[in-house]
Amino acid sequence: MPPLETLRHTFIQLFGSAPQKIARAPGRVNLIGEHTDYNDGFVLPMAIDRAVLIAARPRTDRIVRMIALDFDNARSEFSLDAPITRDAADKWSDYIRGVAWALQARGFALPGLDLAIHGDVPIGSGLSSSAALEVCAAATFIELGRLEIGKLETARLCQHAENEFVGVKSGIMDQFISALARADHALLVDCRDLAYQNVLLPRGARIIICDTLKRRGLVDSEYNTRRAECEAAVRLLAAKLGKPIRALRDVSVEELARCENALPPVVAKRARHVITENARVLNAVAAARRDDLAVFGALMDASHASLRDDYQVSCAELDAMVEIAREERGCLGARLTGAGFGGCTVNLVEVNAVDAFISNVARDYHARTGLTPQIFACRAMAGAGVVV
């Protein structure tokens, strides 16, 4: 059975009657623009055809009952009439609890619900399974609660839930693209004011995601260190340039070139990555709009080199995957995507080379690392909504 029918059938088995609605929210891959978001910069994510689905029906009481099909039908429930707290035993439920908590804190009246959750976004791979779950939960509460909430407000509420309830200090990019994506397009997001533009993706190539199966380590501590180094760069560059600088977004490549020798070497490297990465994002958008696959791919390659050498967030597995990919016919560009230290790479591959690319990269990566990667082509999908 197709996934929707499978989920509907399973819901009937679990709860005794059919769901009233099924909502969907996609995961995402960031094509270019890494570690720029918390520097008020630019990112270019797209929603992928891996998603979270939630089948739901209203209850007559104020209880939310949840069953996670991907965790051996693990169950969790909470009352909307009591303070909503985290569940130490079933942490997956915190993302749904957090959305309900954030909605109620804003004064929205929520119905009790029975929920069955299923997803095929790889967990822990950097493709935003948590944001997809949050946005899907929000879409479900909004639909069945008949709430008037726009997509941008939905993204903000879901980010607030992750930051303040779950306790993960993420930016808004993941929830933003899951809620607002347009089919066949990436989304250029200005992380300073959340202005955004849809960007039609180049024709003649596919986006291929390669999961290294190296799960991300060191991310929290290194993330905090990188943020501190960027903040130090802002203070030092403001003094050197003699102008107010809110974030590295406000420094041009030319301005950095005049000052970087006066910065501590590590701080200069961090600043160089962020400032040149912002320029790469804007150049990639221009390349996409003129359907220039070669330039788009070259910018992806340059992004990986910068993340590896200047921002130092790559790892042996990511570097191996990128090196192997670039040796394949039809690979136009390859880079790590996400926070780094593991997870996935994103690759731009000519349409007629996709099958061979997937087969050969899987073989060669296994030979080099002993790991069997998950590799799949993906399409740019629309953002969250009710599908049934």
Which one, of 142, 129, 123, lies nearest residue 170 by Cα?
129
What is the Cα–Cα distance from 230 to 266, expressed in whole angstroms?
Answer: 10
SS3 215: coil
Check if 174 is active-site.
Answer: yes
Please say whether the beta carbons of 119 and 92 come within 8 A. Answer: no
What is the Cα–Cα distance from 271 to 269, expressed in whole angstroms?
Answer: 5
Please say whether the beta carbons of 35 and 337 come within 8 A. Answer: no
Given the residues 40, 94, 114, 174, the one annotated as active site = 174
Neighbour-count burial for 202-213, b at 16+ CB within 10 Å, e otherwise: beebbbbbbbbb
Helices (H), the chain: 3-15, 94-105, 129-145, 151-160, 173-180, 219-241, 253-259, 265-289, 293-309, 316-326, 354-369
Indicate which residues carry an active-site annotation. 174
